[in-house]
Amino acid sequence: MASVNQVYSALKDLVNKDQRGFVTPAVFNSFASVAQTNLFNKLFSDAALNKRIRNSQSDAGRDKSRVKQASEDLSIFSKKSTIALTSGVGDKPTDLGRVISIITTDSTAKNVEIVYDEEKIDYILRSTLSAPSASYPVALVSSNIQVFPTTLSSVLMRYYKVPQGIVPTSGVKSSIQPRFGYTVVAGQEQYSAANSIDFELPEYYFAELVIEMAKLIGVNLRDKDVYAFSVNEEKNA
């Protein structure tokens, strides 16, 4: 996973270069989860493009590889959860990012139509032609989950969870968002793995995280700037 220490070090050095400002740990931590979420959301655009490429059977060259990679990267966030329903109402998973699908948990395993618009669900419920039934269930996903018909006792949801963090000392997933932890030694900030949480995005999103963080704090960085920095760091390691 992408190291919060490496991303912070690169961002701090690149932004400070040419006296373009100074990035404190507090500033970094306030934007870290936003940057990761922005890149996570971008994956859906790339994955959708990948689906269109497959459907059209066209060859998009390098872009095809990029969007295929996005689909693969999303898979690490894929989860499923059985949602108990009371009178058709259930709670969304606390880490829900995007819904993939919902099916019934009975032996028929029917696909549940997913609706996000309350006006649309009102129309469906009033319709004599498309009213929900045991054969054609419908779910409204809003602040909670409402499933129709309301006789269903549970449903199975597949979804992408929101990206969170990884404990750097163990590699274990954490519900805590990425943060750069440090101690002060002789007046200098020293990285503390014990107090830090890494990004959940894969390590090869390092450059994109640095660039996205820079955008959020109002600095434009180019890919080649970040690449040159990482190459230099490897040489010095």
**Same domain, yes or no, for 148 and 135?**
yes
- Determine, yes or no, domain membership for 55: no
pLDDT higher at 47 or 203: 203
Q: What is the pLDDT of residues 160-170, one digit of tens each?
A: 999 999 999 99
Q: Tell me what pLDDT residue 44 has.
A: 80
**Same domain, yes or no, for 153 and 170?**
no
- Which residues form the domain of 82? 78-161
Q: Tell me what pLDDT residue 22 has.
A: 78
Q: What is the pLDDT of residues 131-156, one digit of tens each?
A: 899 999 999 999 999 999 999 999 99
Looking at residues 115-128, what average pLDDT do you find? 92
**Same domain, yes or no, for 141 and 168?**
no
What element of type H or E holds 207? helix 206-216
Task: Report how far residue 200's alpha carbon sits from residue 174's, in angstroms, rounded to the nearest whole number.
Answer: 9
Q: What is the pLDDT of residues 37-86, one digit of tens each?
A: 999 998 887 766 555 455 545 444 545 566 677 778 888 899 999 999 99
**Same domain, yes or no, for 144 and 203?**
no
User: 106, 131, 161: which is the final residue of a domain?
Assistant: 161
- Determine, yes or no, domain membership for 58: no
- Determine, yes or no, domain membership for 47: no
**Same domain, yes or no, for 90 and 156?**
yes
Q: Tell me what pLDDT residue 62 has.
A: 47
User: 161, 188, 203: which is the final residue of a domain?
Assistant: 161
**Same domain, yes or no, for 155 and 174?**
no
Half-sphere exposure of 45 (CA within 13 A, CB side): 6
Q: Tell me what pLDDT residue 59 has.
A: 47
Task: Report how far residue 32's alpha carbon sits from residue 209's, in angstroms, rounded to the nearest whole number.
Answer: 8
Q: In the β-sheet with 173-174, what is the strand arrangement from edge to edge?
A: 173-174, 165-166, 198-199
For residue 191, pLDDT over 60 is answered with yes
**Same domain, yes or no, for 113 and 154?**
yes
Residue 71 token pair? 């689909």
- Determine, yes or no, domain membership for 32: yes
Extended strands (E) in the chain = 78-84, 89-90, 96-104, 113-115, 138-141, 145-148, 154-161, 165-166, 173-174, 182-185, 188-191, 198-199
The confidence band for 16, taking pLDDT boundaries of 50, 70 and 90, is confident
The confidence band for 234, taking pLDDT boundaries of 50, 70 and 90, is low
- Determine, yes or no, domain membership for 212: yes
**Same domain, yes or no, for 172 and 225?**
yes
Q: Is the Cβ–Cβ distance between 168 and 198 less than 8 Å?
A: yes
User: 127, 143, 161: which is the final residue of a domain?
Assistant: 161
**Same domain, yes or no, for 90 and 154?**
yes
For tokens 């990948």, the residue is 50
**Same domain, yes or no, for 153 and 167?**
no
The total number of structural domains in the chain stands at: 2
Please give the C-alpha separations between residue 118 and each of 100, 115, 135, 141, in angstroms, as whole numbers.
19, 8, 21, 9
- Determine, yes or no, domain membership for 44: no
**Same domain, yes or no, for 147 and 171?**
no
Q: What is the pTM of this model?
A: 0.79
pLDDT higher at 19 or 36: 36
- Determine, yes or no, domain membership for 107: yes
Q: Tell me what pLDDT residue 18 has.
A: 54
Q: Tell me what pLDDT residue 111 has.
A: 96
Q: Tell me what pLDDT residue 228 has.
A: 66
- Determine, yes or no, domain membership for 173: yes
